[in-house]
Amino acid sequence: MTRRLQTNEKKNYQKLVENTAPKPNYFTNCIWAFVVGGIICIIGQFVHNMIENNLGLTHLEATNATILVMIFLGAALTGLGVYDRIGKKAGAGSIVPITGFANSVVSPAMEYKREGFIFGVAARMFILAGPVLVYGITSSVIVGIIYYLLK
Amino acid sequence: MSYVNAFIVGGLICVLGQLLMDGTKLNPAQVLVIFVTAGVVLTALGIYEPLVRFGGAGATIPLPGFGYSLAKGVFKGVDEKGFLGIFTGGVEATSGGITAAVVFGYLMAVFFNPKSKS
Amino acid sequence: MVALKKIGRQTIKFLNPPSILTTASIVGPKEGEGPLAQYYDEVLEDDLFGEDSWEKAESKLVKEAVKIAIRKAKLKIPDIEFMLGGDLLNQLMSTSFAARDLEIPFYGLYGACSTMAESLNLAAVLIDGGYADKVVATTSSHFSSAERQFRYPLELGNQRAPTAQWTVTGSGAAILTSNGNGPFITYSTIGKVIDFGIVDSNNMGAAMAPAAANTITTHLMDTGLQPKEYDLIITGDLGKYGRDIAIELMKKEGFEIVKNFTDCGIENF
C-alpha cells in the first residue's frame, strides 16, 4: 500500500516536472539547425565540385575525398576551440554533419590528454563516436546478409 | 542548383535531428546512432539513393550519408566477393572517413588543449 | 540512554553552539562577474590557477581558501585540529590533495551539492561534543573538472538544456570554534535521500527539489520555528527552476516560504 502510494507520488511528480520544465525554443533551434547544417553541406558541395572538376576523380571518389576534407575541417575547428561555440547555437545543425562526428572524436581525445597518450587520448577518442561505428557497421552487415541471401 | 539542393536537404536532415533532441529525451550520441542506422536501412530499402542524387553533399555530409556509404559498400562487396563482401564491403567504402577521423583526431589532440567555457 | 541533543525526527540541537570564526572564498572568473563578486576574498583571472590541470587548480582553490580563513582568524595551520570537506571528483581528489599539503587531520565527505552543509554540520558536532576546539569545514568544485566527470567533453559542440546547472568554479572554507561570539550554529536537520525518479542529468534542480523541500519542512516541524523567523533560507543548487518546484512542494506541506527563500545557484550567476 505505501509502496504503491509512493510510486503514484513519484509519477505525479515526474508529470509535474515534465509539464513545468522550461521547454527548449523549438522554432529558433530548428532555424539555427537548418541554416548551419545547410551551410556545412554547401561547403561540402563546394569541396566536392572542386575535387571532381580539378582532380579528375570519379563522382564516388570525389564524395569520399570530400568526407575526408570535411572531417579535417571539423577536427581542426574543434582543436581551435571554435566548434563548440558553433554547436551551442546550431545544435543538430553542427552535430549531424560529418564535421560533428569529427568533433565527437577530437573533443574527448583532447579532454583526456592529461591521462596520457594511450589510455587518455587513444582510448577515449571513441567514447562518443564508437557507438556510431558499432551500430553503423553492424547494421550494414545485417543488411549485407539479407542482400546475400536474397540474391 | 546543386548548392540550393544541398542546402535544403542537409538543412532538413539537421532539423530532423534537432527535433529529435528537443522533443524527446534523446541525447546527441543517441541521435547520431539512430541517424547512421537509419542511413543504412533507408539505403537498403532504396529510399536514400534518390535523396543523394537530388541533394548531393546535402545527403552525403550528414551522418545518414555515412550509413549510406556503409550500405552501398556492403552491396558492392557482396556483388564482387560474395559472402566475404558482407564483412569487407562496408568498412572498405568508408575507410577514408574512419582513418581520417582517427588520424586527424589524434593529431588535433596532440597539438591543442581544451579551453574552459564561459 | 536518551540522545540529549536530538529533537524531533531528524534534527540536532547544539547545546554548546559552535561559532563561525572566519570564512573565506575563492571563485573563478565567471563567478567573479556575478552579483556576489564583492563578497569573495579572491577572484581568479584564469581558472587554471597557474596549474596544468583543472583538478590541480581545484585542489589549489581548497588549499588557498583554507589558508585565507586561517589567516583571517590570525591562527596558524597547526592550530586547526580537524579539516572536514569534499568535492565532486572521484576519491575526493582535489580536497584530499589539499589536505595532504595542509597536513591537517582530515575527514573526507561526499555530499555533492550538500557537501558544505555536511562538513559544517559534522564540524559543529565535533565541537559541540567537546572533541575539538577549532575545525575547518570546506568544499570545492570546478566547472571544467565536473563537466568532464559528469557530462560531456568541453569542446563537444552540444547545446545546454535550459534547465542545465552550471557548476561553480570555487572553494569556500569556514573555521568553527567552541568559544566565539557567533554567528552560531544552533540546529542542524539531516536530510533524507529522496528520489522521485528524475533521470535527466540536465535537470538536477528537479531531481533535488523534493529532498530540499522535505528537509526544510522537517526542520521547521522539528524545531517548531516559523519560516518568518529566518532572515534567509537558502538551498545549495536547485537553480531557478528547482526553487520554484521546492516552493510548490513546501506549500503542499503547509509552509508558505517564498520571500526569504533563495538558492546559491541563483545568487551566484
Least trusted range by pLDDT, from A131-145, B19-33, C66-80: B19-33
Are C172 and C196 in the same domain?
A: no
Are C130 and C33 in the same domain?
A: yes
Task: Count chain A–chain C contacts defined by CB atoms under 8 A.
Answer: 84
Task: Count chain A–chain B contacts defined by CB atoms under 8 A.
Answer: 277
- Comparing C163 with C113, the larger pLDDT belongs to C113
Given C177, C207, C236, the domain boundary residue is: C177
B118:C29 CB<8 A: yes
Domain count, chain C: 2
Among positive and negative, which fits the CA dihedral A91, B36, A40, A110?
positive
Domain of residue A52: give its range. Answer: 26-111
Are C45 and C158 in the same domain?
A: yes
How many angstroms separate the CA of residue B79 from the nearest CA in chain C?
Answer: 39
C154:B114 CB<8 A: yes
pLDDT of residue B117: 64
Are C143 and C105 in the same domain?
A: yes
pTM of the model: 0.80
Decide if A61 is inside a domain: yes
If you average pLDDT over residues A19-47, what whole number do you get?
Answer: 89
pLDDT of residue A1: 41
Identify the band that residue C197 occupies on the pLDDT scale cut at 50, 70 and 90: confident
Whether residue B32 lies within 8 A of chain C, CB to CB, comes out as: no
Looking at residue C30, which CATH number applies to its domain?
3.40.47.40
Decide if C6 is inside a domain: no
Are C154 and C224 in the same domain?
A: no
Domain of residue C83: give its range. Answer: 18-177
- CA-nearest of B118, B60, B65, B29 to A92 is B29
Summarised one tens digit per residue, pLDDT across range A95-133 is 999 999 999 999 999 988 888 888 888 888 988 899 999
- Comparing A6 with C152, the larger pLDDT belongs to C152
Domain count, chain A: 1
Summarised one tens digit per residue, pLDDT across range B61-102 is 999 999 999 999 999 999 999 999 999 999 999 999 999 999
Are C239 and C205 in the same domain?
A: yes
End-to-end alpha carbon distance in chain C? 48
Side chain identity at residue C173, one-letter code: A
Given C152, C177, C202, the domain boundary residue is: C177
In chain A, residues with a C-beta closer than 8 Å to the C-beta of C244 are: 20
Q: Choose from B109-113, C53-57, C110-114, C172-176 the range with maximum mean pLDDT.
A: C172-176
Decide if C7 is inside a domain: no
What are C47-55's contacts with CB under 8 Å, separation 24+?
Answer: C47/B116, C47/C142, C47/C143, C47/C144, C47/C169, C48/B116, C52/A114, C53/A114, C54/B116, C54/C142, C54/C144, C54/C145, C54/C148, C55/C89, C55/C93, C55/C94, C55/C142, C55/C145
Decide if A143 is inside a domain: no
Complex confidence, ipTM:
0.91
Are C76 and C135 in the same domain?
A: yes
Q: How many CB atoms lie within 10 A of CB C110?
A: 15
